[in-house]
Amino acid sequence: MRVISLMMALLLAPVLTVGAGCATGSDAKPQTYAGAAEQRYMSADEDLEDGNYLEAIRQFNSVRNKFPYSKYAPLSELRIGDAYFAQEKYASAVEQYRNFIQLHPKHPKVSYAHWRVALAFHKLMPENWWLLPPAYERDLARTRDAVREMRLFIKRYPNSEYTDRARKLLAQERRRLADHELYVAKFYLDRDNPRAAAMRLRYLLENYSGLGLDPQALFLLARSYIELGDLQKAKTALGDLIEYHPNTEFAREAQDYLAEYELE
């Protein structure tokens, strides 16, 4: 009887070994909680990269609901924001990123979420279309929002990988606001309201200096003071223009104004 048992064991050994090999082969998928969450997340991420945004959002939501304690749940919340952003649904993206920030304030990707909020507000600014008035002539509430968010991002993350680009976009946003101030000042000058024009030009020079509009703003400010009869202030504005922007066309016109009004 012992001999028969030994022979049976020897015959079954190869079968058991093959069976074990099949169970642990390289093609087997992990059935752990973390492994299943990762698999679902990677599938959603592929859909997002391929432009299948609705399917990506569906799968990311599935990760959040089915694997709420995995590291892929908060990442899925973040990527839903990216899916909205890719569809140019910027308001929805902002809401999603802000929810992520509120729920996961210590997450390593919080700086990225803040950056995407600022970038979404930048995208929401009015654009220049040939059928419409220039963007600086239209409502600039969204541009002011973009400036606020970009400044907040730069203040929070001065050394972020996104900070250099944030500074460039902030300069564009501020230039849009400066263009608006210049437009309004010209509007007042054309309608014989030099006092209002001077007020807007002073505001422009105090808040948006260095964006390329200083020479023209100083020249128009001098014009406003001349029309107001305040020649001393006009002389000061023209002198600043010639001193700090000597190689501009406005500096040459400033010299003519000084001679014409005997301000030299």
The whole-angstrom separation of Cα 121 and Cα 139 is 14
The predicted pLDDT at position 262 comes to: 76
pLDDT score of 132 more than 70 = no
Q: What is the mean pLDDT of the chain?
A: 87
pLDDT at 7 over 50: no
Residue 135 has pLDDT above 80, yes or no: no
Supply the pLDDT for residue 112: 98
C-beta neighbour count of 84 within 10 angstroms: 22
Compute the C-alpha angle 23/25/31, nearest 5°: 60
pLDDT score at 130: 43
Q: What percent of the chain has pLDDT over 90?
A: 77
Tokens 């948006």 identify what position? 208
**What pLDDT is stored for residue 21 in this prediction?**
40
- List the single range of 150-164, 200-214, 233-247, 248-262 with lowest mean pLDDT: 248-262
Is the pLDDT assigned to residue 11 strictly greater than 50? no
Over the stretch 160-194, which tens digit does the pLDDT of each residue have?
999 999 999 999 999 999 999 999 999 999 999 99
The confidence band for 249, taking pLDDT boundaries of 50, 70 and 90, is very high
Q: Report helix, strand and coil shares of the chain as percent, to nearest 5.
A: 75, 0, 25
Q: Is the pLDDT of residue 9 over 60?
A: no
Closest CA to 166 of 115, 125, 129, 126: 115
pLDDT value of position 204: 97
Q: What is the mean pLDDT of residues 205-220?
A: 96
Report whether pLDDT(103) > 90: yes
Q: Rounded to whole angstroms, how far apart are CA atoms 53 and 87?
A: 8
Whether the per-residue pLDDT at 33 is higher than 70: the answer is yes
Query: Which whole number is the average pLDDT over 98-102?
Result: 98
pLDDT band at 137 (very low <50, low <70, confident <90, very high): low
Residue 215 has pLDDT above 60, yes or no: yes
